[in-house]
Structure 1
Amino acid sequence: MSITIKKYQPENATHWNAFLKKSINGTFLFDRSFMDYHSDRFDDHSLMIYEEDQLIGIVPAHTKENCFYSHRGLTYGIPVVLENKTRAVIVAVLEYLDNSAFAKAEFNLTPQHYHKDNYILSSKLVENGFKIGRILHNMSVDLKANLNISSKKSIGYRNGKFENLKIERGADFKSFWELVLVPSLRARHNSMPVHSLEEIELLASRFPNHIIQHNVYSDQELLAGITFFIKGKVIKSQYAASSPAGMKTDAVGYIYIEAMKEYKHIGYHVMDLGPVNTSDGSINEGLYRFKKQLGSEMEEVLRLEKAYK
């Protein structure tokens, strides 16, 4: 059967999104309603791979200065495929890149636990000359196993620090952004969240079942919050921050523990706590220790790239 690749066009959005729901490794991050919220910042070069007339794969991607990226506007940007079509799609995409005029191609991979076929993808890229351009050290908790939370994290249940804490789940991003997240990032790192309040509220309105805010209060005081992105059977903590008072009670740790118990009970497989790297790529030992005490394990997540000129 012949395979062809077409560049995505806006009129393909419905077809693209319908395919995403049938794929084995797609998440809502690749829905065009999510991808296109910042379409003005990227020159889209997403790909649609067909076997005869059947769409068997898609690749969220963009270009910049004659380089192909999948995808720097998203957490990652792997080929998304139908069952048993992983190898065919990867071979087709590699041939497309080999025959292109791009100076470089780059793939931001996902952690292996997102889907078993991710190993096939990374192996095929390495076999075809892709090299490691970046390594992130990602922490995750296997919710299918017994939770292995350190006594240093659960002590709040025993010493009374967690006694008066109350978690509210929903869509109150405004309180978290304005009272906790933005002040915390500004004070500790002189930075801002990747998503503005307006952007996260827009995305949550489009994906209310996939973007959930957990805020924790003591009486009426907001102490901390975590913004969770739900990706299939994986729960990803996208933002987590505490106020100074929240740090004294380990309010973020409390949210994580309660959320792990909650999502484990519902039947989710993994809680992804995100990377522990600093801006220069080294490991933030304090952050690593915090996440390790929550029972998470480290996995290397790669950005693979290849120069064509």
Structure 2
Amino acid sequence: MSSQTSQNLFSNFWLFASTLIVGQPPSAGFVMADSSVKYQLVSYSGKFQHDWDSLVASARNSHFLFFREFLEYHADRFKDASLLLFRQDKAIALLPAHIENNELHSHSGLTFGGWIVAPDCRYEDLEAGFELLEQEMRRQNLYRLLYRPVPFPYQSEPCGDDQYLLQQRGARCESVLLGAFMTTSTDRLSKKQLRKNLRKAEEQFPCQFQETDDLDRFWQLLSRFLHERHGSTPVHSLAEIKLLKSRFPENIRCVVAHHGDEWYGGEVIFLSRQVTRFQYGFRTLEQPLSNIHLRLFEWIRRQPDYTRPWIDLGTSMDPASGQLQKSLHRHKENLGCRGIPLLTLVWDL
């Protein structure tokens, strides 16, 4: 037998072994990546909640956004199409996703998405996962995947196999946003200029910081500020943030700067395993934003339960033009942040 014939036979065997019945219980259909490993891609339903949440809790790119109690708060707006990848009988990766206009999105209702991977998930596992995902998308007549991978500061260990595999399958980068992140391992406030700026901020902006559960007052001030300054509204309604904070009280915090009973400013903070995220905030005084952030940074440094390896100040993109607002990004750089790209990848079948 020629080497070419052997290669063709092997390729045909591999394609045959990669056949899968998607959505059945783990003991039903499977895909053989080799002679011993069985894979199955399963559509999420309530009976898999324990498998889902257990994997999220231990994942290398874990975030509380991926727990089912968070994902399902806006189930009325997003048609859930989440998937679990099983290796043998164990969930090895998850794909939070929804369907919109014959496209699979991961995930437009979250800051990001993509494969959420177990500590022992390997390259070959996701390779099988994408093979099965393509089959399932073709079965459902979905012609495109929009994929927003978890940025690396949110990863406890590297998780870049998915982006490489998508590139190998012909995916393209549709958009790049620039996020502003800083590490907390380097004490940037020890630098002479930042110490000077902090003393100035303390003189110009005398206040105390504390957490608050008065969401009614907080959301009224936040909504007014966003409307007057940006013509926008908070991402979450008051009812939604109350629900989410009741479900994730350790992860969603509201901090206010106050003097007596008067509130000068506030910030919604999302605490994930790796990152302290400044979600959005308000201020009632005409104070420079740097004064508030410097004082808040200093306060957070003194709160052990707020401390994470990274701080995320979000993007500085202009909603109208999609371009970087350089002055706002420069302000974040002056605080010690540096830019990290946030990608949206598109895979057309």
1:12 aligned partner: 48
For 2:289 and 2:111, how far apart are their aligned partners in 1? 31
For 1:207 and 1:247, how far apart are their aligned partners in 2? 31
1:203 aligned partner: 244
Change beyond 3 A, Cα 1:21–1:152? closer
1:87 aligned partner: 123
Q: Aligned-pair distance for 1:267?
A: 5.0
2:80 aligned partner: 44
Change beyond 3 A, Cα 1:139–1:235? same
8 Å contact kept, 1:7–1:48: yes
How many aligned positions are there?
306
For 2:289 and 2:338, how far apart are their aligned partners in 1? 25
Deviations 1:82-119 (A, max 9, x none): 12314234213321232222111011122222224233
8 Å contact kept, 1:257–1:294: no
For 2:307 and 2:288, how far apart are their aligned partners in 1? 30
The answer to whether structure 1 residue 31 and structure 2 residue 95 are counterparts is no
SS state at 1:286 partner: helix
For 1:266 and 1:29, how far apart are their aligned partners in 2? 17
The answer to whether structure 1 residue 277 and structure 2 residue 313 are counterparts is no
Change beyond 3 A, Cα 1:159–1:208? closer
Structure 2 residue identity aligned to 1:301: L
Higher relative contact order (CA 8 A, sep 6+): 1
Q: Aligned-pair distance for 1:266?
A: 6.6
SS state at 1:34 partner: helix
Bigger Cα displacement from structure 2, 157-166 vs 84-93: 157-166
Structure 1 residue identity aligned to 2:115: P
The answer to whether structure 1 residue 268 and structure 2 residue 304 are counterparts is no
Q: Aligned-pair distance for 1:18?
A: 2.0
Change beyond 3 A, Cα 1:217–1:44? same
8 Å contact kept, 2:145–2:348: yes
TM-score under structure 2 length normalisation: 0.81
SS state at 2:203 partner: coil
The answer to whether structure 1 residue 2 and structure 2 residue 49 are counterparts is no
8 Å contact kept, 1:45–1:60: yes
For structure 1, the 5+ residue unaligned runs are none
Structure 2 residue identity aligned to 1:164: P
For 2:170 and 2:69, how far apart are their aligned partners in 1? 33
1:178 aligned partner: 220
1:157 aligned partner: 199
1:300 aligned partner: 341
Q: Aligned-pair distance for 1:255?
A: 1.5
Structure 1 residue identity aligned to 2:132: Y
8 Å contact kept, 1:141–1:296: yes
For 2:269 and 2:76, how far apart are their aligned partners in 1? 25
For structure 2, the 5+ residue unaligned runs are 1-36
Which of residues 262, 278, 281 is equivalent to 1:240? Answer: 281
Change beyond 3 A, Cα 1:239–1:89? farther
SS state at 1:223 partner: strand
Q: Aligned-pair distance for 1:67?
A: 0.5
Structure 1 residue identity aligned to 2:100: K
State the identity as a percent. Answer: 25
Look at both structures and tell me which one has the larger radius of gyration over its CA atoms.
2
8 Å contact kept, 2:188–2:194: no
2:170 aligned partner: 129
